Amino acid sequence: MFGRPGLRDPAFLLCARGFFMLDQLRQGARGWVSKLLMALLVLSFAIWGIGGFQGYRADTLATVGGQEVSVQDFARVYGNAQRSGQQVNPQQILSAVLMNAAIDDAAAQYGLGISDDRVAAEIAKNPIFKGPDGNFDRNRFVNILANAGMNRDDFVSDLKKQLIRGQIAQSLGVGLSLPQPLVAALYRLQNEERTISFFPVDNTAITPVGTPSDSDLQTYFDDNKDSFRAPEYRKLALLTLDPEAVADPSKITDEQVAAEYERRKPSLTQPERRRVEELRFDTADAAKAAFAKIEGGASMAAAGQESGVEVTDLGVKSKAEMLDPAVAEAAFAAALNKTVAVTEGALQPSVIQVTAIEPGSVPSLEEMTPRIRKDLAVSAARDHVQDLYDKVEDARAAGDTLQEAATKLSLPYSVVDVSADLKAPDGSAVDVPGAAALVKEAFDSDVGVENSPFRTNAESWVFYDVLDITPARDRSLDEVRDEVVAAWTKAETSKRISDLADKLFERLKGGASLATLAAEVGKTVRTAEGVKRNGTAPGLSSNAVSQAFAGPQGHVANADGTGDDRILLKVDRVTAPAFFAEASDATAIQSQLTDALEKDLLNTYNQQLLATRETSINSAAYQQLTGQAQTR
């Protein structure tokens, strides 16, 4: 049940160094993945009462049972959490670290371990460490760890602990089962179908709003002035240190490209493929007899029919893809449409015929040169990222501006004016490395402050300075007249549609028919059949579907449309499905509920591991690292 423990439970997903180790390697993934992980972190851990800290080394932050958490390890975890782009509560990070220590202590008591071969295999299959050819690249592995500021031994140790923790998860939840009545109830809820009659109330049903008067426009502007304020802008100097950006393909020689081409050639080659038809027999004599009939003019099908054997189409395959080596050898030696008897060394005596040939191919050196040259340039740039990083830091320490450092080192440099929502003063989107996370840091900084480099992913950095700040301000009506007219028109249109829909809905509730009401606004009633609770139907918004399931048969609703329009609807029929435990929907529900139960069980078990172990915190070290007092 717990074949994927690292993906099953927040405790294992997020408990300290395993998650943060990978997060340090993938700082660029700040979208929905990092948000989800941080949300799970917030939801997964309560704050446990913990004792004081006495008699331990100054470099130890905490002890849990027989496990110690070093100050250095916590600082690394906490630092990476801060760089994740999300709000970080240090107490929650501490709770995650303590949980991991409790699990490690339990693993030590159970005598759990993991082989070095298994750890090596996990590293080798990690896509982060694969080169352009899709195989593990040792140099890339070393460079990524170096750029991330990680020690190889620490990385391996962290991964080993993560895999050992997974063994504990795998031992829990075996044999869990759910009551079938619960599954059946959820199945019926999910698969109930409804027939819905409806019509839209949109801008064609109202009198056009026309052009606003000056007084209407001024009133609307005064009431919504904050919506038209000019936001604060920051002028940012950006020096980008990224292998893709600093790579110089012109420095890659033709000899290097040719050597790499030869190295990749086997993986680039598309082998010849052939379509083969086959008659299979129990004995070699039967195969030879059928072959003789075909040689005499009979077709493959006719010869097979006389022998009670059907022609099998083996499909279009390369020689290596064919299961029977003897058949493969014969098929790839045969001429097109020539029948061949395969009776020696075959898994099963047969007669074959090649009916189509797709020639093999390999892209030429000339075709592959641009791609290979770029790949080699990027790979070479990766090797020098850390060196360039140090040179930029040295230049800044010597007093150089970012522009001066970029010029000296021939690195990409740009200046952008950007608001907190990544817009330029003209309203266009601004493409900033690191996007919202970097801009957030910049808005927390100030002019003249030397900022720490911002990591955009495992290999890339952005050095940035705030050059100037343009404060937010109120705009005048004349500055934004067109925007205000558009906003007023939209708001007034929406209001009139809503008012009309409300009046029609009151009459619908009073017994007026949909057809009568629809005709009054120039609409016709449409019907959607077989609509499910989480389903869709043409003409119905998601809110309309939701509203249609808010009452019994005969239920009426005034629902949101897909824009400013409204949808008036009535539920004509409700159909409850029969329950079949073997149905795919039923098994999916059972699987989801079982997963949820497993998560609860594992989370409870993890909390119990920590609660039953003596835990001590070095409060002074914690406060020094986080700036906050440790809460009990």
pLDDT in tens, 341-359: 998 888 889 999 999 999 9
Query: Starting from the edge strand earliest in sequence, which strands make up the sheet with 193-201, in order?
Result: 526-532, 193-201, 566-575, 556-560
Boundary-marking domain end, from 340, 358, 376: 358
The confidence score (pLDDT) of residue 2 equals: 33
Average pLDDT of span 467-481: 94
DSSP string, 491-546: HHHHHHHHHHHHHHHHHHHTT--HHHHHHHTT---EEEEEEETT--BTTB-HHHHH
Domain total of the chain: 4
Boundary-marking domain end, from 324, 358, 392: 358
Q: Is the pLDDT of residue 146 over 90?
A: no
57 pLDDT band, cuts 50/70/90, is low
The reply to whether 280 and 404 lie within a common domain is no
**Packing angle of the helix pair 152-170, 116-125 (nearest 10 deg):** 100
The confidence score (pLDDT) of residue 6 equals: 37
The reply to whether 454 and 490 lie within a common domain is no
Which residue range forms the structural domain that includes residue 560?
193-227+480-575
Q: Could you count the other beta carbons within 10 Å of the beta carbon of residue 631?
A: 11
The reply to whether 36 and 98 lie within a common domain is yes
The reply to whether 81 and 209 lie within a common domain is no
Q: Could you count the other beta carbons within 10 Å of the beta carbon of residue 391?
A: 16
Say which residues have a Cβ less than 8 Å from residue 190's Cβ, sequence separation at least 6.
532, 533, 534, 585, 589
Q: How far apart are CA 335 and CA 151, in angstroms?
A: 59
The confidence score (pLDDT) of residue 83 equals: 60
CATH value at residue 36: 1.10.4030
The reply to whether 115 and 167 lie within a common domain is yes
State pLDDT tens for residues 489-524.
Answer: 999 999 999 999 999 999 999 999 999 999 999 999
Q: How far apart are CA 466 and CA 449, in angstroms?
A: 8
Q: How far apart are CA 272 and CA 357, in angstroms?
A: 7
- Would residue 616 count as lying in a domain? yes
- Would residue 463 count as lying in a domain? yes
Taking CA atoms, 616 is separated from 101, 629, 630, in Å, by 12, 15, 11
19 pLDDT band, cuts 50/70/90, is very low
CA nearest neighbour of 96 among 141, 64, 129, 127: 64
State pLDDT tens for residues 259-314.
Answer: 999 998 888 888 899 999 999 998 999 999 999 999 999 999 999 888 889 999 99
CA nearest neighbour of 222 among 475, 486, 473: 475
Pairing of strands 67-70, 339-342: unpaired
Average pLDDT of span 182-209: 91
The reply to whether 463 and 546 lie within a common domain is no
Say which residues have a Cβ less than 8 Å from residue 512's Cβ, sequence separation at least 6.
none
